[in-house]
Amino acid sequence: MLKIFGKFFLQSVAQIVFTSVVTIGLLIFLLRYLPDYASFGELGEMALEISKPISGTEENAYTNKNNFIQNNFHFWEQAFTGEFGFSRVHQDQTVGNLIKKSSLVTFFLILTSFAFTSILGGILGLISGYRYGHSLERAIQFFGNLLTAMPSFLLAPILIFIFSIRWPIFPSALWSGPASLVLPVLTLSLRPTFYLARLFSLQIHETFQTDFIKVAQSKGVGFWGLWFSHVIPNSFSAFIIATGNLLGQFVSGLFIVEALFALPGLGHLFIQSLAERDYPLFLALVLVFSLILQLGHRISEFIVLWFSPAHQESRFE
């Protein structure tokens, strides 16, 4: 067992390092062909204000066309300090400091959304799987299809109208404490919650059709024993893998949700860095989001590996 998890750990570290280096290297290569100054079309005053601090800096380390390998070493050297150098726009602050200031909101948004989706999705999936084909399961599926087809930029105004205007329960925008996370979490979580519930329900239904469940029933295994010893353990792996993959949806949804609710998080900071051509900040945020996605996938696979001996054998045979 220890040997298996040792191999898994080494493979995970190697994969994360390789993917991060390739991703950053590709971006640094592409940045060589981008203009060094921000362009905002007709917004001349904004372009002037933003280009002033940029034009006042030294030569951009990431758009230099002649030092690709040196630029990569330069980025990773700064990354290991945890500060990533200075921002090109906010010149009095390091990139690491800007990320630290914005990371708390994003961390709680992702963590709360993940917990909400996993718990509610699991409960709805269990109910749907148990009542598969009945009216309750069809009702859950109907609302799930409705929410899945509704994009975040439409769901957010509906939630704001109901819970901030019609019944002023939660803040509609900006950050004023934990209550400001309620509507963003619902916007980010409702669609993947019903997707996860549907997936778990189908997996439970398929598990019930297998021969070993029928054998267990014929041997007189009770309701609770059947569910907790056979049905849920054999349906759990798909649920865990799906929750790990949902991190990708949460990260991609951050940009829209934080913009809609004016939250000072990493998604908002990422959009700012693109608009202002703040390349050091942009590259650091790409690395942060890449690490979050990769860690989510590896943690979900670790949980499956821990609970599934068959997966251990097939993974490292």
Provide the pLDDT confidence category of residue 38 given band limits of 50, 70 and 90. very low
Give the residue, 69 or 316, on which the prediction is more confident: 69
Give the residue, 62 or 26, on which the prediction is more confident: 26
What distance in Å separates the CA atoms of residue 228 and residue 167, rounded to the nearest whole number? 41
Q: Is residue 154 part of a domain?
A: yes
**Segment 57-85 mean pLDDT:** 70
Q: Output the pLDDT for position 66.
A: 56
Q: Which domain holds residue 212?
A: 98-278
Q: Is residue 257 part of a domain?
A: yes
How many domains does one find in the chain? 1
pLDDT in tens, 39-60: 333 433 444 444 444 444 444 5
pLDDT in tens, 99-156: 988 888 899 998 899 899 989 988 988 888 888 878 888 888 888 888 877 887 888 8
Residues with Cβ within 8 Å of residue 62, at least 6 apart in sequence: 28, 31, 32, 71, 75, 279, 280, 283
* Collapsed DSSP state (helix, strand, coil) of residue 86: strand
CATH of the domain at 251: 1.10.3720.10
Q: Output the pLDDT for position 47.
A: 42
Q: Which of 9-18, 29-38, 58-67, 141-150 has the highest mean pLDDT?
A: 9-18
Q: Is residue 57 part of a domain?
A: no
What torsion do the CA atoms of 197, 203, 205, 207 make, to the nearest 10 degrees?
-150
Q: Output the pLDDT for position 116.
A: 92
